[in-house]
Structure 1
Amino acid sequence: MKKVAKVISQSNNSLVQSMPEENLQTMGARVRHYRERLGLSQEELALRVGAAQQTIQSLESGKIRKSTFLPHIAKALGVDFDALLLGKAQPQVIRTSRPLLMATTRRVPLFTTRDCEVVQAFLQDQSVQSASGKWVSMDYSLPFAESGLRLFALKLSLSDEAFQPEFRPGDQLVIDPDAPIQPSDPVIVFKPGAERLNLNRYRVVSQSGADIDYELVSIHPDFPSFAGDELKSLQILGSVIQMRRPTSSRIRLAVLEEQYG
Protein backbone atom coordinates (compact mmCIF):
# COMPACT_ATOMS: atom_id res chain seq x y z
CA MET A 1 0.00 0.00 0.00
CA LYS A 2 1.33 3.38 -0.95
CA LYS A 3 1.86 5.86 1.81
CA VAL A 4 0.29 9.23 1.19
CA ALA A 5 2.52 12.06 2.30
CA LYS A 6 0.88 14.61 4.53
CA VAL A 7 0.92 18.18 3.32
CA ILE A 8 2.14 20.45 6.02
CA SER A 9 0.39 23.80 6.05
CA GLN A 10 2.44 26.94 6.02
CA SER A 11 3.01 28.70 9.30
CA ASN A 12 1.22 31.92 10.16
CA ASN A 13 4.55 33.72 9.88
CA SER A 14 5.11 32.80 6.26
CA LEU A 15 1.53 33.58 5.37
CA VAL A 16 1.83 37.03 6.86
CA GLN A 17 5.15 37.77 5.18
CA SER A 18 3.86 36.65 1.78
CA MET A 19 0.82 38.89 1.84
CA PRO A 20 0.82 40.92 -1.40
CA GLU A 21 1.67 44.58 -0.96
CA GLU A 22 -1.32 45.59 -3.05
CA ASN A 23 -3.54 44.35 -0.24
CA LEU A 24 -2.07 46.99 2.10
CA GLN A 25 -2.98 50.10 0.14
CA THR A 26 -5.36 51.43 2.81
CA MET A 27 -4.58 52.33 6.40
CA GLY A 28 -7.34 50.02 7.62
CA ALA A 29 -5.79 47.10 5.78
CA ARG A 30 -2.41 47.89 7.31
CA VAL A 31 -3.86 48.05 10.84
CA ARG A 32 -5.49 44.67 10.33
CA HIS A 33 -2.36 43.19 8.73
CA TYR A 34 -0.01 44.23 11.54
CA ARG A 35 -2.58 43.28 14.21
CA GLU A 36 -3.06 39.78 12.80
CA ARG A 37 0.69 39.45 12.35
CA LEU A 38 1.01 39.72 16.12
CA GLY A 39 -1.91 37.38 16.69
CA LEU A 40 -3.98 40.03 18.44
CA SER A 41 -7.75 40.28 18.34
CA GLN A 42 -9.44 43.66 17.87
CA GLU A 43 -10.42 43.62 21.54
CA GLU A 44 -6.86 42.87 22.69
CA LEU A 45 -5.45 45.70 20.60
CA ALA A 46 -8.16 48.05 21.89
CA LEU A 47 -7.26 47.20 25.49
CA ARG A 48 -3.59 47.90 24.85
CA VAL A 49 -4.23 51.40 23.52
CA GLY A 50 -7.14 52.29 25.81
CA ALA A 51 -9.67 52.52 22.98
CA ALA A 52 -13.02 50.86 22.32
CA GLN A 53 -13.10 47.77 20.13
CA GLN A 54 -15.47 49.68 17.83
CA THR A 55 -12.66 52.18 17.13
CA ILE A 56 -10.35 49.43 15.88
CA GLN A 57 -13.15 47.88 13.85
CA SER A 58 -14.05 51.22 12.24
CA LEU A 59 -10.41 51.94 11.37
CA GLU A 60 -9.94 48.54 9.75
CA SER A 61 -13.18 48.77 7.79
CA GLY A 62 -12.39 52.29 6.55
CA LYS A 63 -15.39 53.90 8.25
CA ILE A 64 -13.00 56.30 9.94
CA ARG A 65 -9.56 57.36 8.71
CA LYS A 66 -8.43 59.56 11.58
CA SER A 67 -8.07 58.81 15.27
CA THR A 68 -6.07 60.20 18.16
CA PHE A 69 -5.24 56.59 19.01
CA LEU A 70 -3.23 56.00 15.81
CA PRO A 71 0.20 56.80 17.33
CA HIS A 72 -0.56 54.44 20.20
CA ILE A 73 -1.81 51.77 17.78
CA ALA A 74 1.39 52.02 15.76
CA LYS A 75 3.47 51.61 18.91
CA ALA A 76 1.40 48.65 20.13
CA LEU A 77 1.77 46.98 16.72
CA GLY A 78 5.52 47.59 16.67
CA VAL A 79 5.53 49.57 13.43
CA ASP A 80 6.64 53.04 12.38
CA PHE A 81 3.83 55.59 12.50
CA ASP A 82 4.45 56.68 8.90
CA ALA A 83 4.41 53.05 7.80
CA LEU A 84 0.97 52.62 9.36
CA LEU A 85 -0.49 55.94 8.28
CA LEU A 86 1.04 56.42 4.82
CA GLY A 87 2.13 52.92 3.87
CA LYS A 88 5.84 53.77 3.74
CA ALA A 89 8.19 50.80 3.67
CA GLN A 90 8.95 49.25 7.03
CA PRO A 91 12.75 48.94 7.46
CA GLN A 92 12.66 45.46 8.95
CA VAL A 93 9.85 42.96 9.37
CA ILE A 94 9.40 42.41 13.05
CA ARG A 95 9.10 38.83 14.25
CA THR A 96 5.55 37.59 13.92
CA SER A 97 5.34 35.39 16.97
CA ARG A 98 2.76 36.46 19.54
CA PRO A 99 4.53 38.85 21.92
CA LEU A 100 4.49 38.82 25.68
CA LEU A 101 2.84 41.74 27.43
CA MET A 102 5.09 44.77 27.39
CA ALA A 103 6.87 45.68 30.59
CA THR A 104 4.79 48.86 30.70
CA THR A 105 1.56 46.86 30.84
CA ARG A 106 0.05 45.51 34.02
CA ARG A 107 -3.22 44.12 35.26
CA VAL A 108 -5.67 46.35 37.08
CA PRO A 109 -8.27 44.53 39.23
CA LEU A 110 -11.88 44.81 38.09
CA PHE A 111 -14.42 45.18 40.90
CA THR A 112 -18.17 45.79 41.03
CA THR A 113 -19.82 48.68 42.85
CA ARG A 114 -20.95 46.22 45.56
CA ASP A 115 -17.35 45.37 46.46
CA CYS A 116 -17.11 48.23 48.96
CA GLU A 117 -15.04 46.43 51.59
CA VAL A 118 -12.84 44.66 49.04
CA VAL A 119 -12.04 47.91 47.23
CA GLN A 120 -11.08 49.58 50.50
CA ALA A 121 -8.89 46.59 51.36
CA PHE A 122 -7.22 46.84 47.94
CA LEU A 123 -6.42 50.51 48.50
CA GLN A 124 -4.46 49.44 51.59
CA ASP A 125 -2.96 46.26 50.13
CA GLN A 126 -2.56 45.92 46.35
CA SER A 127 -2.24 42.13 46.60
CA VAL A 128 -6.00 41.97 47.26
CA GLN A 129 -7.91 40.67 44.22
CA SER A 130 -11.50 41.11 43.14
CA ALA A 131 -13.98 38.37 44.04
CA SER A 132 -14.33 37.46 40.36
CA GLY A 133 -10.58 37.49 39.75
CA LYS A 134 -11.15 39.64 36.65
CA TRP A 135 -8.87 42.46 35.54
CA VAL A 136 -8.27 44.96 32.76
CA SER A 137 -4.97 45.62 30.98
CA MET A 138 -3.50 49.11 31.26
CA ASP A 139 -0.56 50.39 29.22
CA TYR A 140 1.51 52.81 31.26
CA SER A 141 3.11 54.29 28.16
CA LEU A 142 -0.26 55.96 27.52
CA PRO A 143 -1.97 58.67 29.61
CA PHE A 144 -1.55 56.56 32.76
CA ALA A 145 2.22 56.98 33.06
CA GLU A 146 1.81 59.01 36.25
CA SER A 147 -0.76 56.66 37.81
CA GLY A 148 0.20 54.89 41.01
CA LEU A 149 -0.07 51.25 42.00
CA ARG A 150 -3.56 51.69 43.47
CA LEU A 151 -5.28 52.03 40.09
CA PHE A 152 -8.47 49.92 39.94
CA ALA A 153 -11.54 49.48 37.74
CA LEU A 154 -15.29 49.13 38.29
CA LYS A 155 -17.71 47.28 36.03
CA LEU A 156 -21.24 48.69 36.06
CA SER A 157 -24.41 46.61 36.16
CA LEU A 158 -28.07 47.37 35.45
CA SER A 159 -28.66 48.17 39.13
CA ASP A 160 -26.02 50.92 39.19
CA GLU A 161 -28.55 53.67 38.56
CA ALA A 162 -26.47 56.33 40.31
CA PHE A 163 -24.01 56.19 37.38
CA GLN A 164 -26.68 56.77 34.74
CA PRO A 165 -27.27 58.39 32.28
CA GLU A 166 -23.61 59.40 31.87
CA PHE A 167 -22.45 55.80 32.17
CA ARG A 168 -24.19 52.58 31.17
CA PRO A 169 -24.43 48.96 32.28
CA GLY A 170 -21.37 47.07 31.07
CA ASP A 171 -19.10 50.13 31.13
CA GLN A 172 -15.72 49.72 32.81
CA LEU A 173 -14.51 52.76 34.75
CA VAL A 174 -10.81 53.13 35.59
CA ILE A 175 -10.20 54.99 38.86
CA ASP A 176 -6.98 56.56 40.12
CA PRO A 177 -7.10 57.15 43.90
CA ASP A 178 -3.84 59.13 43.79
CA ALA A 179 -4.67 61.54 40.96
CA PRO A 180 -5.32 65.16 41.99
CA ILE A 181 -9.04 65.83 41.81
CA GLN A 182 -9.95 68.61 39.40
CA PRO A 183 -13.19 70.63 39.30
CA SER A 184 -16.02 68.76 37.53
CA ASP A 185 -14.21 65.41 37.80
CA PRO A 186 -16.48 62.38 38.27
CA VAL A 187 -15.39 60.70 41.51
CA ILE A 188 -16.21 57.40 43.18
CA VAL A 189 -17.72 57.94 46.64
CA PHE A 190 -18.17 55.55 49.56
CA LYS A 191 -20.67 56.28 52.32
CA PRO A 192 -20.36 54.12 55.46
CA GLY A 193 -23.28 51.71 55.68
CA ALA A 194 -24.08 51.92 51.96
CA GLU A 195 -24.37 48.70 49.97
CA ARG A 196 -22.53 50.00 46.92
CA LEU A 197 -20.14 52.65 45.70
CA ASN A 198 -21.66 55.68 44.02
CA LEU A 199 -20.63 58.34 41.53
CA ASN A 200 -20.72 62.08 42.07
CA ARG A 201 -19.23 65.07 40.32
CA TYR A 202 -16.70 67.14 42.25
CA ARG A 203 -17.81 70.78 42.14
CA VAL A 204 -15.81 73.61 43.68
CA VAL A 205 -18.07 76.19 45.35
CA SER A 206 -15.33 78.56 46.52
CA GLN A 207 -11.60 78.58 47.16
CA SER A 208 -9.38 80.70 49.37
CA GLY A 209 -5.73 79.70 49.25
CA ALA A 210 -5.46 76.04 50.18
CA ASP A 211 -8.99 75.97 51.61
CA ILE A 212 -11.51 74.56 49.15
CA ASP A 213 -15.25 74.54 49.70
CA TYR A 214 -16.75 71.88 47.48
CA GLU A 215 -19.83 69.74 47.00
CA LEU A 216 -20.45 66.34 45.45
CA VAL A 217 -23.21 66.65 42.88
CA SER A 218 -25.21 63.58 41.93
CA ILE A 219 -25.22 62.66 38.24
CA HIS A 220 -28.57 60.88 38.49
CA PRO A 221 -31.45 63.18 39.54
CA ASP A 222 -32.94 60.58 41.91
CA PHE A 223 -29.80 60.35 44.03
CA PRO A 224 -28.69 62.89 46.65
CA SER A 225 -25.93 65.44 46.37
CA PHE A 226 -23.68 66.16 49.35
CA ALA A 227 -22.34 69.39 50.80
CA GLY A 228 -21.23 70.94 54.07
CA ASP A 229 -21.13 68.66 57.12
CA GLU A 230 -22.44 65.74 55.05
CA LEU A 231 -19.04 65.47 53.39
CA LYS A 232 -17.36 64.53 56.68
CA SER A 233 -18.90 61.05 56.63
CA LEU A 234 -17.98 60.36 53.00
CA GLN A 235 -14.81 58.97 51.48
CA ILE A 236 -13.71 59.88 47.95
CA LEU A 237 -11.96 56.80 46.59
CA GLY A 238 -10.62 58.43 43.44
CA SER A 239 -11.29 60.14 40.13
CA VAL A 240 -12.58 58.36 37.05
CA ILE A 241 -9.76 58.75 34.51
CA GLN A 242 -11.11 56.52 31.75
CA MET A 243 -14.31 54.83 30.62
CA ARG A 244 -14.32 51.71 28.45
CA ARG A 245 -17.48 50.64 26.68
CA PRO A 246 -17.17 47.17 25.10
CA THR A 247 -19.17 46.65 21.91
CA SER A 248 -21.03 43.73 23.46
CA SER A 249 -22.40 45.93 26.26
CA ARG A 250 -23.80 48.41 23.73
CA ILE A 251 -25.55 45.60 21.90
CA ARG A 252 -26.90 44.17 25.16
CA LEU A 253 -28.09 47.58 26.29
CA ALA A 254 -29.92 48.14 22.99
CA VAL A 255 -31.76 44.84 23.49
CA LEU A 256 -32.72 45.78 27.04
CA GLU A 257 -33.95 49.20 25.95
CA GLU A 258 -36.07 47.56 23.27
CA GLN A 259 -37.57 45.12 25.77
CA TYR A 260 -38.29 47.55 28.57
CA GLY A 261 -38.38 50.91 26.81
Structure 2
Amino acid sequence: MSAVGVRVRHYRERLGLSQDELAVRVGAAQQTIQSLESGKIRKSTFLPMIAKELGVDLDALLFGSQSPPILADNVRPLLMASTRRVPLFSTRDSVLVHAYLKDQSVQSLSGKWIAMDYSLPFAESGPRLFALKLGLSDEAFQPEFRPGDQLVIDPDAPIQPSDPVIVLRPGSERLILSKYRVLSQSGNDVDYELVSIHPDFPSFNGSELKSLEILGPVIQMRRPVSSRVRLAVLEDQGR
Protein backbone atom coordinates (compact mmCIF):
# COMPACT_ATOMS: atom_id res chain seq x y z
CA MET A 1 0.00 0.00 0.00
CA SER A 2 1.24 3.50 -0.80
CA ALA A 3 1.54 6.13 1.92
CA VAL A 4 -1.28 8.12 0.30
CA GLY A 5 -3.45 5.02 0.16
CA VAL A 6 -2.85 4.28 3.84
CA ARG A 7 -3.92 7.82 4.78
CA VAL A 8 -7.04 7.71 2.57
CA ARG A 9 -8.11 4.50 4.29
CA HIS A 10 -7.28 5.89 7.75
CA TYR A 11 -9.32 9.08 7.35
CA ARG A 12 -12.16 7.22 5.59
CA GLU A 13 -12.48 4.64 8.37
CA ARG A 14 -12.20 7.37 11.00
CA LEU A 15 -15.42 8.84 9.58
CA GLY A 16 -17.06 5.42 9.35
CA LEU A 17 -17.41 5.62 5.56
CA SER A 18 -17.30 2.64 3.23
CA GLN A 19 -15.39 2.81 -0.04
CA ASP A 20 -18.72 2.97 -1.89
CA GLU A 21 -19.97 5.88 0.23
CA LEU A 22 -16.79 7.89 -0.30
CA ALA A 23 -16.86 7.14 -4.04
CA VAL A 24 -20.45 8.42 -4.38
CA ARG A 25 -19.61 11.60 -2.45
CA VAL A 26 -16.74 12.53 -4.79
CA GLY A 27 -18.36 11.19 -8.00
CA ALA A 28 -15.79 8.46 -8.52
CA ALA A 29 -16.05 4.70 -8.95
CA GLN A 30 -15.60 2.45 -5.92
CA GLN A 31 -12.77 0.83 -7.89
CA THR A 32 -10.89 4.16 -7.87
CA ILE A 33 -11.00 4.36 -4.06
CA GLN A 34 -10.02 0.71 -3.77
CA SER A 35 -7.12 1.17 -6.20
CA LEU A 36 -5.85 4.23 -4.32
CA GLU A 37 -5.97 2.51 -0.96
CA SER A 38 -4.27 -0.64 -2.24
CA GLY A 39 -1.55 1.35 -4.03
CA LYS A 40 -2.58 0.07 -7.48
CA ILE A 41 -2.77 3.69 -8.63
CA ARG A 42 -0.62 6.41 -7.11
CA LYS A 43 -2.33 9.57 -8.32
CA SER A 44 -5.85 10.66 -9.14
CA THR A 45 -7.68 13.84 -10.04
CA PHE A 46 -10.17 12.90 -7.32
CA LEU A 47 -7.61 13.39 -4.52
CA PRO A 48 -8.53 17.06 -3.85
CA MET A 49 -12.23 16.12 -3.58
CA ILE A 50 -11.39 13.08 -1.45
CA ALA A 51 -9.40 15.28 0.94
CA LYS A 52 -12.33 17.71 1.17
CA GLU A 53 -14.85 14.94 1.93
CA LEU A 54 -12.53 13.42 4.53
CA GLY A 55 -12.13 16.80 6.22
CA VAL A 56 -8.37 17.01 5.81
CA ASP A 57 -6.01 19.32 3.95
CA LEU A 58 -4.75 17.97 0.61
CA ASP A 59 -1.17 18.28 1.85
CA ALA A 60 -2.07 16.15 4.87
CA LEU A 61 -3.37 13.46 2.54
CA LEU A 62 -0.36 13.61 0.22
CA PHE A 63 2.45 14.20 2.67
CA GLY A 64 1.09 13.10 6.04
CA SER A 65 1.30 16.56 7.55
CA GLN A 66 -1.29 19.18 8.48
CA SER A 67 0.99 21.83 6.99
CA PRO A 68 2.70 21.98 3.57
CA PRO A 69 6.24 20.56 3.42
CA ILE A 70 9.03 23.11 3.84
CA LEU A 71 10.99 23.58 0.66
CA ALA A 72 14.49 24.98 0.35
CA ASP A 73 14.82 28.33 -1.36
CA ASN A 74 16.37 26.75 -4.43
CA VAL A 75 13.71 24.03 -4.78
CA ARG A 76 10.75 24.68 -7.02
CA PRO A 77 7.31 23.62 -5.72
CA LEU A 78 5.99 20.45 -7.35
CA LEU A 79 3.44 22.23 -9.54
CA MET A 80 1.08 25.14 -9.14
CA ALA A 81 -2.56 24.17 -9.15
CA SER A 82 -4.24 24.61 -12.52
CA THR A 83 -6.97 23.06 -14.59
CA ARG A 84 -6.16 21.46 -17.88
CA ARG A 85 -8.35 20.33 -20.76
CA VAL A 86 -7.71 16.74 -21.72
CA PRO A 87 -9.13 15.69 -25.12
CA LEU A 88 -11.73 12.94 -24.96
CA PHE A 89 -11.60 10.46 -27.82
CA SER A 90 -13.63 7.31 -28.43
CA THR A 91 -12.03 3.91 -28.98
CA ARG A 92 -13.00 4.25 -32.66
CA ASP A 93 -10.77 7.33 -33.04
CA SER A 94 -7.62 5.23 -33.51
CA VAL A 95 -6.28 7.34 -36.38
CA LEU A 96 -6.95 10.61 -34.57
CA VAL A 97 -5.38 9.37 -31.33
CA HIS A 98 -2.26 8.30 -33.21
CA ALA A 99 -2.10 11.74 -34.83
CA TYR A 100 -2.65 13.47 -31.47
CA LEU A 101 0.39 11.76 -29.97
CA LYS A 102 2.50 13.57 -32.58
CA ASP A 103 0.56 16.86 -32.61
CA GLN A 104 -1.40 17.97 -29.54
CA SER A 105 -3.47 20.43 -31.59
CA VAL A 106 -5.42 17.47 -33.04
CA GLN A 107 -8.95 17.25 -31.62
CA SER A 108 -11.45 14.43 -31.36
CA LEU A 109 -14.35 14.28 -33.82
CA SER A 110 -16.75 15.36 -31.09
CA GLY A 111 -14.45 18.13 -29.88
CA LYS A 112 -15.19 17.04 -26.31
CA TRP A 113 -12.71 17.17 -23.45
CA ILE A 114 -12.63 16.56 -19.72
CA ALA A 115 -11.37 19.07 -17.16
CA MET A 116 -8.62 17.76 -14.89
CA ASP A 117 -6.95 19.31 -11.87
CA TYR A 118 -3.44 19.25 -13.28
CA SER A 119 -1.65 19.87 -10.00
CA LEU A 120 -0.15 17.44 -7.50
CA PRO A 121 -1.98 14.27 -8.58
CA PHE A 122 -0.73 14.60 -12.17
CA ALA A 123 2.51 16.52 -11.65
CA GLU A 124 4.55 13.82 -13.40
CA SER A 125 2.25 13.42 -16.41
CA GLY A 126 3.49 14.53 -19.80
CA PRO A 127 1.81 16.93 -22.25
CA ARG A 128 0.22 14.14 -24.29
CA LEU A 129 -2.30 13.04 -21.67
CA PHE A 130 -5.68 12.09 -23.19
CA ALA A 131 -8.86 10.15 -22.34
CA LEU A 132 -10.95 7.48 -24.05
CA LYS A 133 -14.70 7.07 -23.65
CA LEU A 134 -15.88 3.47 -23.91
CA GLY A 135 -18.91 2.59 -26.00
CA LEU A 136 -21.46 -0.22 -25.89
CA SER A 137 -19.53 -2.27 -28.44
CA ASP A 138 -16.22 -2.20 -26.53
CA GLU A 139 -16.63 -5.74 -25.20
CA ALA A 140 -12.87 -6.29 -25.07
CA PHE A 141 -12.65 -3.81 -22.18
CA GLN A 142 -15.09 -5.75 -20.03
CA PRO A 143 -15.58 -6.93 -17.29
CA GLU A 144 -13.04 -4.57 -15.69
CA PHE A 145 -14.47 -1.52 -17.46
CA ARG A 146 -17.95 -0.78 -18.80
CA PRO A 147 -19.63 1.49 -21.38
CA GLY A 148 -19.43 5.17 -20.49
CA ASP A 149 -16.19 4.84 -18.51
CA GLN A 150 -13.49 7.38 -19.32
CA LEU A 151 -9.96 5.98 -19.24
CA VAL A 152 -7.13 8.47 -18.77
CA ILE A 153 -4.00 7.50 -20.71
CA ASP A 154 -0.47 8.81 -20.18
CA PRO A 155 1.71 7.82 -23.19
CA ASP A 156 4.83 9.10 -21.40
CA ALA A 157 4.35 7.15 -18.16
CA PRO A 158 6.53 4.09 -17.54
CA ILE A 159 4.61 0.84 -17.91
CA GLN A 160 4.54 -1.36 -14.83
CA PRO A 161 3.85 -5.12 -14.81
CA SER A 162 0.10 -5.88 -14.92
CA ASP A 163 -0.74 -2.32 -16.06
CA PRO A 164 -3.71 -2.07 -18.43
CA VAL A 165 -2.42 -0.54 -21.67
CA ILE A 166 -4.11 0.84 -24.77
CA VAL A 167 -2.93 -0.89 -27.94
CA LEU A 168 -3.13 0.10 -31.60
CA ARG A 169 -3.39 -2.78 -34.05
CA PRO A 170 -2.83 -1.80 -37.71
CA GLY A 171 -5.95 -2.33 -39.78
CA SER A 172 -8.25 -2.42 -36.78
CA GLU A 173 -10.97 0.22 -36.52
CA ARG A 174 -10.84 0.18 -32.71
CA LEU A 175 -8.24 0.67 -30.06
CA ILE A 176 -7.96 -2.33 -27.77
CA LEU A 177 -6.95 -2.86 -24.16
CA SER A 178 -4.62 -5.51 -22.77
CA LYS A 179 -2.69 -6.13 -19.58
CA TYR A 180 1.09 -5.83 -19.81
CA ARG A 181 2.60 -9.03 -18.39
CA VAL A 182 6.36 -9.37 -18.02
CA LEU A 183 7.63 -12.89 -18.77
CA SER A 184 11.31 -12.26 -18.16
CA GLN A 185 13.76 -9.37 -17.96
CA SER A 186 17.49 -9.09 -18.45
CA GLY A 187 18.90 -5.59 -18.14
CA ASN A 188 16.94 -3.35 -20.51
CA ASP A 189 15.59 -6.32 -22.49
CA VAL A 190 12.04 -7.22 -21.49
CA ASP A 191 10.14 -10.24 -22.75
CA TYR A 192 6.44 -9.54 -22.33
CA GLU A 193 3.00 -10.44 -23.56
CA LEU A 194 -0.26 -8.51 -23.87
CA VAL A 195 -3.07 -10.41 -22.16
CA SER A 196 -6.72 -9.70 -22.97
CA ILE A 197 -8.86 -8.90 -19.93
CA HIS A 198 -11.85 -10.49 -21.69
CA PRO A 199 -11.60 -14.28 -22.18
CA ASP A 200 -13.22 -14.17 -25.63
CA PHE A 201 -10.54 -11.90 -27.12
CA PRO A 202 -7.00 -12.91 -28.12
CA SER A 203 -3.79 -12.21 -26.25
CA PHE A 204 -0.55 -11.33 -28.05
CA ASN A 205 3.01 -12.52 -27.59
CA GLY A 206 6.18 -13.33 -29.49
CA SER A 207 6.42 -12.11 -33.07
CA GLU A 208 2.80 -10.86 -32.96
CA LEU A 209 3.94 -7.94 -30.79
CA LYS A 210 5.96 -6.46 -33.65
CA SER A 211 2.77 -5.42 -35.45
CA LEU A 212 1.28 -3.73 -32.37
CA GLU A 213 1.93 -0.32 -30.84
CA ILE A 214 1.37 0.37 -27.15
CA LEU A 215 -0.02 3.91 -26.88
CA GLY A 216 0.32 4.15 -23.10
CA PRO A 217 -0.88 2.80 -19.75
CA VAL A 218 -4.25 3.56 -18.21
CA ILE A 219 -3.48 5.68 -15.14
CA GLN A 220 -7.05 6.41 -14.06
CA MET A 221 -10.62 5.38 -14.71
CA ARG A 222 -13.41 7.93 -14.34
CA ARG A 223 -16.96 6.63 -14.14
CA PRO A 224 -19.62 9.35 -14.54
CA VAL A 225 -22.19 9.29 -11.75
CA SER A 226 -25.76 8.75 -12.89
CA SER A 227 -28.16 11.66 -12.48
CA ARG A 228 -30.19 9.63 -9.97
CA VAL A 229 -27.15 9.04 -7.74
CA ARG A 230 -26.01 12.65 -8.14
CA LEU A 231 -29.46 13.91 -7.08
CA ALA A 232 -29.34 11.66 -4.01
CA VAL A 233 -25.96 13.10 -3.09
CA LEU A 234 -27.18 16.67 -3.48
CA GLU A 235 -30.27 15.95 -1.38
CA ASP A 236 -28.12 14.40 1.34
CA GLN A 237 -25.84 17.45 1.40
CA GLY A 238 -28.86 19.74 1.69
CA ARG A 239 -30.07 18.14 4.91
Q: 1:72 aligns with which of 42, 48, 61?
A: 48
- Partner of residue 217 from structure 2, selected from 229, 236, 239: 239
8 A Cα contact 1:108 1:135, kept in partner? yes
2:196 maps to 1:196: no
Query: C-alpha distance in 2, partners of 1:71/1:193?
Result: 39
Q: Name the aligned partner's letter for residue 171 of structure 2.
A: G
Per the alignment, in what secondary structure is the counterpart of residue 158 of structure 1?
coil
- Tell me which residue corresponds to 2:94: 116
Q: Secondary structure at the match of 1:247?
A: coil
Q: CA-to-partner distance for each residue in 1:12-35, whole Å, 9 max, x for gaps?
A: xxxxxxxxxxxxxxxxxxxxxxxx
Residues 140/157 of structure 1: CA separation in 2 closer, same or farther (3 Å cut):
same
Q: Which whole-Å deviations, capped at 9, do the CAs of 1:41-74 have from their partners, x for residues lacking one? A: xxxxxxxxxxx9723379xxxxxxxx98997238
| Aligned residues with identical type, % of pairs | 71
Structure 1: where are the runs of 5+ without partners?
1-51, 59-66, 83-101, 252-261
Alignment of 1:81 with 2:57, yes or no, is: yes
- Give the secondary-structure state (helix, strand or coil) at the position aligned to 2:194: strand
Q: Deviations over 1:189-241 (max 9, x none)?
A: 00000010000000000011111000000001111000000000000000000
Show the counterpart of 1:146: 124
Q: Which runs of 4+ in 1 moved over 4 A?
A: 67-71, 74-77
TM-score of the pair, normalised by structure 1: 0.60
AA at the equivalent of 1:54 = V
The amino acid that maps onto 2:197 is I
Equivalence for 2:143: 165
After TM superposition, give the deviation of residue 185 of structure 1 in Å.
0.2
Deviations 1:151-178 (A, max 9, x none): 0000001100010000000100000000
* CA–CA separation in structure 1 for the residues paired with 2:206 and 2:228: 38
TM-score (norm: length of structure 2)? 0.65
Question: Quick check: 1:222 aligned with 2:200?
Answer: yes
Is the aligned partner of 1:56 residue 2:26?
yes
- Aligned mates of 2:156, 2:89 — CA distance in 1: 18
Root mean square deviation, CA, Å: 3.3
Give the conservation status (yes or no) of the 8 Å contact 1:113–1:196.
yes
Q: Quick one: distance in 2 between partners of 1:250 and 1:138? A: 24
Compared CA separation, residues 219 and 250, structure 1 to 2 (3 A): farther
